[in-house]
Homo-oligomer: A and B are copies of this chain.
Amino acid sequence: MIVQKYKDMLQGKSVIRQLSEFATQRGNEIGYENVFDYSLGNPSVPAPQQFTDTMIDMLQNRNPMELHGYSQSLGIPAVRDKVAESLNRRFGMHYTGNHIFMTTGAAGAIAHAVRCVSEPGDEILTFAPYFPEYGPYINLTGAVLKVVPADTKSFQINFDAFEEMLTEKVAAVLINTPNNPSGMVYSAETLRKLAGIMTDKAAQYGHDIFLISDEPYREIVFAGVDSPYPSKFYANTLSCYSFSKSLSLPGERIGYVAVNPECTDAEYISAMCSQISRGTGHNCPPSIIQLAVAQVLDLTSDLSVYETNMNILYKELIDLGFECVKPGGTFYIFPKALEEDAVAFSEKAKKYDLIVVPSDTFGVKGYIRLAYCIDTEKVERSLEAFRKFVKNEY
């Protein structure tokens, strides 16, 4: 029999996806260039030319049987070594290749990290506002996602709520910094306090509590913002990374889990991930993509457009009277809606061809998310629509 659980999931349609479809449809009517589509978090800059050149060079010059051959299920050893070296150089860590497990993007990384450190029925905590895919990502492993209410003042962490929810049932805490949707970067102070509480509670309960740190936006941090590396603050950390945003390769599904060398059973966790991958059907990420990213580990796409767009939008939103914490990174901004009901507010914005996502889908009410990974020229043209929306006709 087909499994009803998955069939039932087909009913629930992602709000973001629906808005994006609306934007496409509206684009068919008035020209997509006239729709201010802030719905989707898709990179808007190309991959670095060096990535393309590396791919072509390998295809032209390498033995295809080596190039396209099976990699070990943990990833290609030389690639894992290079990832470790790059992280050590950049963040003062002490990884070896054995602490790196190559995955199909951050989704693959989370799927393996969660299974490594939680049994079905265990709780995983995350913090609102949060990436809504965490729900199915976590719950389909058998663990149970619980959402700690937001600290809406700073979009750092609501520690009172966290301490209350960090019960004995919690196997792991899932953070996302820089954060989708708030654009906030966790400060060293936040990470230190988080680590302190987790250490105390783990000692109290007599079992490890792991930190799963989802960092696809790690490289998109704006001027003057300090972006500390979470694993530096807490030994039992599994860092989940994707090259989707830094190299603009979301379709190529490449990322990794980096296991803190000081964590419990650090020497086993990559190998455990490769056992898990037999059940998830993942096995290893595509070999040519592994080899290519290993050649451009310290590069990024030209990410400057995101900061340019953020500054334009932030200034205008503040001028228009929005309350908004200034993003420290990512390509999202998360202002407070001008009425209590963010769903109604986003619906009204559509009349001005402004497509924004109400925050309910991110686990907090009353805000909207704008994904400003679009051309700056379009951001500028959208300002007039915001003005009309807010001043004249709202």
Instruction: Kindly identify which residue among B56, B68, B133, B207 contacts A59, using a CB–CB cutoff of 8 Å.
Output: B56
Tell yes or no: A300 within 8 A of B by CB. Answer: no
The docked-state distance in angstroms from the alpha carbon of A218 to that of B299 is 41
CB proximity of A281 to chain B, nearest CB, Å = 3
A60-B64 contact in complex given A116-B3, A278-B107, C-beta closer than 8 Å:
no
Count copies of this chain in the complex: 2
Interface string of A1-19 (1 = CB under 8 A from B): 1110011011000000000
A105-B283 contact in complex given A272-B7, A275-B10, C-beta closer than 8 Å:
yes
The interface size of chain A toward B, counting residues with CB under 8 Å, comes to 76
CB proximity of A61 to chain B, nearest CB, Å = 11
The docked-state distance in angstroms from the alpha carbon of A283 to that of B2 is 20
The docked-state distance in angstroms from the alpha carbon of A117 to that of B278 is 18
Tell yes or no: A111 within 8 A of B by CB. Answer: yes
Tell yes or no: A44 within 8 A of B by CB. Answer: yes
Q: A65-B248, A251-B284 are in contact. List 8 more A-B contacts (CB 8 A).
A: A2-B264, A42-B70, A46-B65, A56-B56, A107-B281, A111-B281, A251-B288, A253-B285
Within 8 A of B (CB), among A98-112: 103-105, 107-112
Tell yes or no: A271 within 8 A of B by CB. Answer: yes
- Do residues B140 and A278 form an inter-chain contact, with CB atoms below 8 A? yes
- Do residues A2 and B116 form an inter-chain contact, with CB atoms below 8 A? yes
Interface string of A40-67 (1 = CB under 8 A from B): 0011111100001001100110011101
Instruction: Kindly identify which residue among B1, B70, B133, B268 contacts A7, using a CB–CB cutoff of 8 Å.
Output: B268
Residues in B neighbouring A192, C-beta threshold 8 A = none
The docked-state distance in angstroms from the alpha carbon of A69 to that of B68 is 21
- Do residues B275 and A136 form an inter-chain contact, with CB atoms below 8 A? yes
The docked-state distance in angstroms from the alpha carbon of A249 to that of B68 is 5
Tell yes or no: A81 within 8 A of B by CB. Answer: no
Measured CB to CB, the nearest residue on chain B to A135 is B278
Tell yes or no: A165 within 8 A of B by CB. Answer: no
Residues in B neighbouring A250, C-beta threshold 8 A = 68-70
Measured CB to CB, the nearest residue on chain B to A76 is B251
Tell yes or no: A159 within 8 A of B by CB. Answer: no
- Do residues A282 and B3 form an inter-chain contact, with CB atoms below 8 A? no
Tell yes or no: A213 within 8 A of B by CB. Answer: no
